[in-house]
Amino acid sequence: MSDLPIWRRLQPYVSVLLVLLLIGAPLWLVVVTAGKSQGEAINPNFALPSRWHLVDNVRQVWVDAQVPAAFLGSMLIVVPTVLLVLLLGSMAAWVLARRTSKLMAVLYAVGISGIILPPAVVTVVLLLRQLGLAGTAVGMIAVYLGIYLSTVIFFVTGFVRTIPESLEEAAQIDGAGPMLVFRRIVLPLLRPVLATATILICLYVWNDVFYAFFVVGGRLDTLPLNLFRVASAGLYLNNWHLIFAYVIMMSLPLVVVFAIAQRKIISGITGGAVK
Amino acid sequence: MPATVELPAPVRVSPAPGPAPRTIRRRTHPMWFLFPAYAVLVVFFVLPTLFNFVYAFTDWSGFKSAINPVGFDNFTALASDGTLFRSLRITLLYAVLVAVFQNVFGFGLAVLLERDTAVNRIARTFFLVPVLMSALAVGYLFQAMLKPSGWLADTTWTLLVVSLIHAWKWMGLSMLIYLAGLKTVPEDVMEAARIDGASRWRAFWTIRAPLLAPAVTFTVATALLGSMNGFDIVQATTGGGPARTTEILNIFIYRTFGQGLFAQATTMSLVLFLLVALLAFPVIYLLRRREQIL
């Protein structure tokens, strides 16, 4: 049905119209509102600002909301989380994929159950308190690791199974131990799937506000936590121009990452889903 | 019998087909590679989950330091004032609505943008933008857009509106997965069907749609079970209102935790865990079985 002559002619117009309507309109609202003065932005609408205040608004958010501290907090958590989740996850996934036994099947099932099962957000706070990690970056990183290791194990195990084992065997015959084989042979081969996992985990952790609220809320600021706090505390109540200036600022790093690695993201996300 | 003195060391000269013997595995793929990941998983994921099963039966709160067992008091209290079943009903309804909308939109977009033209490639990129945006930002965006219309203040229809927003954010992901699924159907199969006289409509629904089953399994299961664990979009659009008609479980947990009512929050956290765990098995099983039948 997708190659009827009329449809072939109409399809591009329908696509463009849908993009404008479904994506263009909301994004337009964000940009124009972020460019308005307070008075103009009280009731957000699609009209252009009479004068652009985007830079002023961004500057005001930057100073008033202490964005630099929140940005640092976000980086402090996202970078170690991503590095560790990839390293620990792929180490485990390699062995899970290569060894076959009942025990391994059970361990694998436990390892990936976190993809679906919701983490216990309340009691994890109690646990962190007992460990002396409450409200710290280390505690937050550990919680994210516990949540997202499942995703990495799932993606990487599936990928390792598609790599022929003979590549490892050649090195083993030459006398390389497991550490060396993993570091020099396996890790480089995993690059495509690790790229995907990096993007996914960055996306989740960079944008997370729910888990961060429980673990570091009020102690350590991250960008979404900061946005959430200022937007709900009344400081920005109905100050849509500042909220949207914030949204633009916060989304930029991810948009840049996406623009650079777009093809990898798309092939990676879909690779795991449709075998 | 003379003992054979020189047994050659067990070196694998040529790689044998099939899985290698266990002894070799133990050396080449040692178990301790699992240790760091599983230590973190057990301490920071499994242990708090087990804590849920303990602290849901106590009077743990922010107002006193002692924690005493109280049996099923938390459950009976939450059940008797209607909170438990209302939250469960709202969460389930929300999840089902999100799963339906997200998949219908994603499937529609995939079929629409299937051909590899320049326009379609750009359009696909645009539909991925909401996936990248923070859910909180999406929530604020729609609050700004819809508040004047009153759509976020209706006790009956607001849940539907919020689930549409949730589906809007994630439809690009479903689209990608359906696109990848559509690509797995070989052209010559469609060609053969056409030669045999099948109409386009029939060929699509009898040949291509069934081959999408793995994609359907994945996106329905993740959308359904993922949105039960939702928070950001609901919090940023309605905060659970009006009159708590959009208060899904995580909103309740967030609110009661903020009030220092830790035992109530833990109880609901346990309820959410059990709900997702109980639904995960039948959902995945049913969808898998459909895959085999089709």
pLDDT in tens, A101-141: 899 989 998 898 888 899 999 999 999 999 999 999 999 99
Question: Which tokens hold the place of B60?
Answer: 């743990």
Q: What is the mean pLDDT of residues B48-54?
A: 96
Nearest to B45 among A19, A122, A147 (CB): A147
Q: Distance (Å, rounded) from C-alpha B34 to C-alpha A88?
A: 8
Higher model confidence: residue B56 or residue A2?
B56
Asked if the Cβ–Cβ distance from A29 to B262 is below 8 Å, we say no
Asked if the Cβ–Cβ distance from A178 to B49 is below 8 Å, we say no
Is the whole-model pTM more than 0.95?
no
Judged against a pLDDT cut of 90, whether residue B288 lies above it is answered with no
Asked if the Cβ–Cβ distance from B134 to A11 is below 8 Å, we say no
Q: What percent of chain A has pLDDT over 70?
A: 93
Contact B134, B200 (CB under 8 A): no
Q: Distance (Å, rounded) from C-alpha B160 to C-alpha B58?
A: 36
Nearest to B34 among A95, A119, A231 (CB): A95
Residues of B in contact with A1 (CB under 8 A): 200-201, 204
Q: Distance (Å, rounded) from C-alpha B263 to C-alpha B76?
A: 13
Contact B230, B94 (CB under 8 A): yes
Residues of A in contact with B34 (CB under 8 A): 91-92, 95-96, 107
Please tell me the distance in Å from A127's CA to the nearest CA on chain B: 7
Smallest Cα–Cα separation from B166: which of B217, B130, B124? B130
pLDDT at B5: 42
Please tell me the distance in Å from B115's CA to the nearest CA on chain A: 9
Q: What is the mean pLDDT of residues A181-203?
A: 88
- pLDDT confidence band for B293 (50 / 70 / 90): low
Judged against a pLDDT cut of 90, whether residue B190 lies above it is answered with no
| Tens-digit pLDDT profile for residues B134-156 | 999 999 999 989 988 888 888 88
| Interacting residues of A260 by C-beta distance below 8 A, sequence separation 6+ | none
Please tell me the distance in Å from A273's CA to the nearest CA on chain B: 6
pLDDT at B103: 95
Higher model confidence: residue B5 or residue A229?
A229
Q: Distance (Å, rounded) from C-alpha A78 to C-alpha A72?
A: 10
Nearest to A122 among B44, B46, B266 (CB): B266
Nearest to A210 among B173, B231, B272 (CB): B231
pLDDT at A172: 87
Given CA atoms B87, B89, B95, B101 in this order, what sign does their dihedral have? negative
Q: Which residue, among B24, B27, B33, B259, would best test binding to A if mutated, counting the most A CBs under 10 Å from its CB? A: B33
The Cβ of residue B210 has, within 10 Å, a number of other Cβ atoms equal to 14
Residues of B in contact with A275 (CB under 8 A): 214
Q: Give the side-chain half-sphere CA count within 13 A for B142.
A: 29
Smallest Cα–Cα separation from B252: which of B241, B240, B238? B240
Q: Which residue, among A101, A116, A199, would best test binding to B if mutated, counting the most B CBs under 10 Å from its CB? A: A116
| CA-based nearest residue in chain A for residue B55 | A123
Q: Distance (Å, rounded) from C-alpha B7 to C-alpha B170?
A: 63
Judged against a pLDDT cut of 90, whether residue B215 lies above it is answered with no
Nearest to B141 among A29, A207, A213 (CB): A29
Q: Distance (Å, rounded) from C-alpha A137 to C-alpha A169?
A: 40
Q: Which residue, among A123, A184, A199, A229, would best test binding to B if mutated, counting the most B CBs under 10 Å from its CB? A: A123
Asked if the Cβ–Cβ distance from B134 to A27 is below 8 Å, we say no
Report the alpha-carbon angle A104-B48-A132, nearest 5: 115
The mean pLDDT of chain A is 87
Question: Which tokens hold the place of A207?
Answer: 């944008």
| CA A85, chain centre distance (Å) | 13
| Tens-digit pLDDT profile for residues B93-116 | 999 999 999 999 999 999 999 888
Q: At what angle do helices A191-207 and A223-232 cross, to 10 degrees?
A: 20
B194 touches chain A (CB under 8 A): no
Q: Distance (Å, rounded) from C-alpha B163 to C-alpha A196?
A: 27
Residues of B in contact with A254 (CB under 8 A): 132-133
Asked if the Cβ–Cβ distance from B36 to A92 is below 8 Å, we say yes
pLDDT at B254: 94
Q: Distance (Å, rounded) from C-alpha A120 to C-alpha A76?
A: 23
B148 touches chain A (CB under 8 A): yes
Q: What's the complex ipTM?
A: 0.89
Q: What is the mean pLDDT of residues B163-178?
A: 94
Please tell me the distance in Å from A119's CA to the nearest CA on chain B: 6
B123 touches chain A (CB under 8 A): yes
Judged against a pLDDT cut of 70, whether residue A273 lies above it is answered with no
Out of A37-46, A206-215, B170-179, pick the least confident. A37-46
| CA B69, chain centre distance (Å) | 33
| Tens-digit pLDDT profile for residues A32-87 | 999 988 888 888 888 888 888 888 888 988 888 888 999 999 999 999 999 999 99
Out of A267-271, B121-125, B146-150, B252-256, pick the least confident. A267-271
- pLDDT confidence band for B27 (50 / 70 / 90): confident
Q: What is the mean pLDDT of residues B212-237?
A: 89
Q: Distance (Å, rounded) from C-alpha B195 to C-alpha A51?
A: 62
